[in-house]
Structure 1
Amino acid sequence: MIVRSLSYDQCRALFDNHQTIREKSVSSPSVDPYPTPDIERIELVEVLRALADPARLAIVRVLADGEPHAKTADVWGLGLQKSTLSHHFKTLREAGLTRTIVKGRTHEIQLRRTELDARFPGLIDSVLRG
């Protein structure tokens, strides 16, 4: 076995290189885990398809107050499994109805009410009255 001792400068250089690599990986731009389509790309057919499910319609009615709501399954009172509720949240987001807000470990969902009213005037009000 050959043991080689390193000088302080050599050890420091190894450490500095390690830190540089680590910092580069941490500071790289992250991908949005919850992409939301641009409002101009949202199609009415997709919005109506997303709203056709009673559970998703119930979610939109809760979100109509304009405030972000936690995505915790217990809060919604729909009696759905966490995975099913997550599927409904994803469908609403991909249709352009909602956005997901990440605050640390908390994920909240919010209706894109202002943007939707500009794109499809009166649609959300009609859905909520129905």
Structure 2
Amino acid sequence: MAQRDRTTGSHRAAPEHTHPDDVPVQTALAALADPVRLALVRELAGSDDWSRSCGSFDVPVGKAALSHHFAVLRGAGIVEQRDEGPKRVNRLRTEEFEGRFPGLLGLVLRADGRA
């Protein structure tokens, strides 16, 4: 029984999250300024909450860089992640982020990036 629990349990620590209320505007803007992170946010915006695993995104970076980009987005209060079995799934914190920075997410989600 103990072996089974070890193999089904997570081999990594749960991700730490920053609430958008604790994020300075410069941190949010810096997180959203990177093209890879912007692509991740845009893909998440078009997906149901918790439906996208980290490996399901079409971005031109390796696994380590992708992990870094998600850590930046978590630290800026933009995404939330949780582990489901061997996968880490994501949701865009739209409501919380909008409460902290009204209109910002809508601006960056526009395809052309213009107001």
- Scaled by the length of structure 2, the TM-score of the pair is 0.77
2:61 corresponds to: 80
Computed over aligned residues only, the root mean square deviation of the Cα atoms, in angstroms, reads 1.4
2:53 corresponds to: 70
1:59 corresponds to: 40
Question: Structure 2 regions of 5+ residues with no counterpart?
Answer: 1-12
Where does structure 1 differ by over 3 angstroms across 4 or more consecutive aligned residues? none
Question: Structure 1 regions of 5+ residues with no counterpart?
Answer: 1-31
1:121 corresponds to: 102
Larger Rg, first or second structure (1 or 2): 1
Shift of 1:106: 1.9
- Paired amino acid for 1:81: G
2:81 corresponds to: 100
What is the CA deviation profile of residues 28-60 of structure 1, one whole-angstrom value per residue up to 9, with x for unaligned ones? Answer: xxxx62111123212111010011110000000
Is 1:110 the counterpart of 2:91? The answer is yes
1:59, 1:45 → 2: CA distance?
19
More helix by share: 1
Shift of 1:109: 1.5
The answer to which structure, 1 or 2, has the higher relative contact order (CA under 8 A, 6+ apart) is 2
Counterpart among 8, 20, 23 of residue 39 in structure 1: 20
